[in-house]
Structure 1
Amino acid sequence: MTFTVTDDDTAAAVGSGSLPVLGTPRLLAWLEAATCAALEPTLGAGATSVGTRVALEHTGASPVGQEVEVTASSTYVDGRLHRFTVAARHLGGNGKVVGTGEITRVVVDAERFLSRL
């Protein structure tokens, strides 16, 4: 998936700092979106997934206007549990890697999950 950093994505806007660069919470949301997209074709009727574990290193700054590509690769599946290696890199220029990590999701029945709240 590809995203372009906007003013609404900055650390200053999302409350994770004061600088006008991509905020870590927004980067995490983009990476989680990539894991959801990767799982979507495998989900049955009424199923969805929930995030249960995140390990993320945000290693480079991305200014407003920068295009960022995020990827999610399945590395482990055990029944309903799915683990992904995730990465983010700048598009254009040198393709600098600005984030890496691992996200775990569990497949659940959406209706049953919500009924337990």
Structure 2
Amino acid sequence: MDTASVTHVVGPDDTARALGSGDLDVLATPRVLAWLEEATCAALDVTPEQTSVGTRVDLEHLSASPVGAQVTATATVVHTDGRLVRFQVVAQDASGTLLASGEVRRVVVDRERFLARIAPVGD
């Protein structure tokens, strides 16, 4: 099973107030999700011609974290079906408190072919 973790310290730019997802100076759910997705990307072994795109998220944000808290986001591959990869994700603080948990799905794609399908804005 492929697993990867990333660790960040909650800063003022990571808060619900800063990201517009609330008005408190605590770790914002969108930032938790971004860190968890960062871990999913780190857990994938793709060629330089490939990348992955997120397709589905199921996330519970269970506990608040103040500015200055250290948060570790971990993603573990739990299922692969062709290009589809499902990850179990968890975020914990330095004391081991579970902050968030859920599942993230990503699809491995050919980088150039994927970008070729995207029309530039204004076209």
Deviations 1:30-69 (A, max 9, x none): 0000000000xx2123100000000000000000000001
Give 1:34's aligned residue. Answer: 39
**TM-score, normalization: structure 1?**
0.95
Alignment of 1:19-58 (within 5 A): 19-39=24-44, 42-58=45-61
More helix by share: 1
Alignment of 1:23-102 (within 5 A): 23-39=28-44, 42-91=45-94, 93=95, 95-102=96-103
Consecutive unaligned residues of structure 2, counting only runs of 5 or more, are 1-5, 119-123
Residue identity in the other structure for 2:82: G
Give 1:106's aligned residue. Answer: 107
Are 2:17 and 1:5 aligned?
no
Are 2:19 and 1:14 aligned?
yes
Consecutive unaligned residues of structure 1, counting only runs of 5 or more, are none
* Number of equivalenced pairs: 113
Residue identity in the other structure for 1:114: L
Runs of 4+ in 1 over 4 A off after TM superposition: none
CA distance in 1, matches of 2:28, 2:48: 34
Structure 1 position 28, deviation (Å): 0.3
Aligned-residue identity in percent: 58
SS in 1 for 2:43: helix
* Aligned Cα root-mean-square deviation (Å): 0.6
